[in-house]
Amino acid sequence: MRNAEIIRKTNETDIKLLVSLDGTGKGNIDTGCGFLDHMLTLFAKHSRFDLDVFCKGDTNVDYHHTAEDIAICLGKAIKDALGEKKGIKRYADVILPMDEALIMCAVDISGRGGLYTKLDIPASKVGDFDTELCEEFLCAFARESGITTHIRELAGVNSHHIIEGIFKALARCLKEACEIDEKYKDEVPSTKGVI
């Protein structure tokens, strides 16, 4: 099984995160932020990764450190769980509808993490979650995972739907890109021989 555990403790957050890339989509999530719990639960379901996330953060300030630090841990965990990346499909893309919102996502498990977005989230908050933290989460995740991540909002009006579409689209892409192609299970999908 391709599993990883990350424990990260700072003055701002105390996080324990476990991921299994060959799971069934079970999520056991407690971040201290209801909206982020919802996003990570559906991320687990749509990626088919088993994901446990426990975070105690300085939520009396806001959810910035919680969101960013969980993304750091999730990125590191997926990178660790992929190991040498032998046999992975590496690339994936999806156009995902979430009611009126339409999100395009494409990923490359390249080892060169970067986030490239075109998003227009109209509301500043969904519940008590600052919507600008969506991009902070994605940036930290892409950087730490080493995954080139492109996300475009093709349509959308409702901020909840837009962000939910983003998390679902990313999950679906990661599910496919992390899958093992049995025909090439002993090969690293790069002319360099390493990723």
Digit-coded pLDDT (tens) for 94-128? 999 999 999 999 999 999 999 999 999 999 999 99
Architecture per CATH, domain 3-184, reads as 2-Layer Sandwich (3.30)
Q: How far apart are CA 29 and CA 19, in angstroms?
A: 12
> Which residue has tokens 């841990």?
73
Non-local (6+) Cβ contacts of 165 within 8 A are: 96, 97, 98, 101, 102, 103, 153, 156
Give the tens place of pLDDT for each residue, 66-94. 999 999 999 999 999 999 999 999 999 99
Q: How far apart are CA 55 and CA 25, in angstroms?
A: 20
Give the tens place of pLDDT for each residue, 140-155. 999 999 999 999 999 9
Is the pTM above the cut of 0.95?
A: yes
What residue type is assigned to position 141 of the chain?
Answer: F
Pairing label, strands 50-57, 91-98: unpaired
Beta bridge partner(s), residue 118 = 152
